Structure 1
């Protein structure tokens, strides 16, 4: 199904009656106390810079931390680096946005219980004077071809992130190889926020996730010239996010129970409503992608977890 702007909040409301069971699963049994097994623990979350830089995680993590008396240590990295941290056993849970790399992480045995969380999309942004004349082109492959043909400055993430992987996919779809590019193609080698600043300073284009661009729009003089599917643009620019626990069979020191509780929380009605309602200047940055019509919240909860028996 194509990703596009839709009335997801209404869908959340329609599942609320069932979803209350999910909230019970993550609840404290009604006594206001976190279980002694996890109180004071720290969950290390490695995540893409887009979820970190936009401020979404601050809103999402606060209720979880307060409920259980735990700390979520969110480390913003590119997707490749975040997954590598998980492979090394230095994080408990990973939230990223490059499905091929996520599937490899799971297939190689380093991750378990991957779940969809949310989506937005990618957009091509650049200076208002649009030196490559890509505004209104509709198709992203034609747009990047025009950038290359005109040798207009393009700042790449260049960091093995999910955004970098998508950018390379777009160039390939346009029949272009970055190895053939000249000095106009800049290897920025940094996170999304820093790349947007670089592109602004150099009067260049870049590929950005919509959420980070919107969160920084007032700080830079870049405009969206090619839209993604949220606003009717090409499906090639879809940007889904997933979350996956690090496999305790590979790294037995990871906080697996806490990681699974966190996955259950962010994919629950409560977590998804926070995703849906998080805006900057009235603009929604991310869209819910976790809730089913008949959600089974108990599937996310380790056996014996407090409150699990209350989920019906």
Structure 2
């Protein structure tokens, strides 16, 4: 069940309240809202809903096919609901981590990080090409959880992450910060500061980052956006600019190893490979 569509009215109300809070309680250290940036975020959210109507058919069909292969099938109940919820959050950590560390997957996720502001509307900058997430839900289906249970866990996970896209909430009670993903933790994730890159991948729980050593606390002012900001509010460019960059980079390299790095290496490794190939070709010309 995709609960996020039903939550749209709540998203609108919460964004309006956050915007009002900036009017009534301004803070010069926080950036707040900007019309064009917010319009782009809203456009990305609408585009994601439309695009996922198509991707959703393929994902639903794949989930139902894989679910038939499971040797056992769990009945819906509190225990199975808790298990699939925690299980998906664990798998989401790895999906999210892969989305930052494999460039082809980063091309789908990068739009979420493209805003240089951080407010609730930023949460709506969702991918239009989300098919890369499909394999990460399959282990739960093979363990016997139904597609409906997995889809519901994924929706609840995404709903949780909406409220953490804000600067209006500072640090929370320490036991909460120790276990849960919070606005402070997720601000770090959206930072382009060198010390914040590729950190805090968790969805609901931050314990996975602590366990796998990708956790970093918020210790300095966050600079939001990308290390290579695209400086555009055009939703089409925001959605597809990294795919276009991959195409250009594939034309700039020559060897199979270089092409694989451009496609499947980390974004940093891909950029370095293209720079070296360009320099090499410049010397040979």
Q: Does the TM-score normalized on the shorter chain lie above 0.5?
A: no
Structure with the largest fraction of helix:
2
Structure with the largest fraction of strand:
1
Q: Which has the higher contact order (CA 8 A, sep 6+)?
A: 1
- What TM-score results when the alignment is normalised by the length of structure 1? 0.21
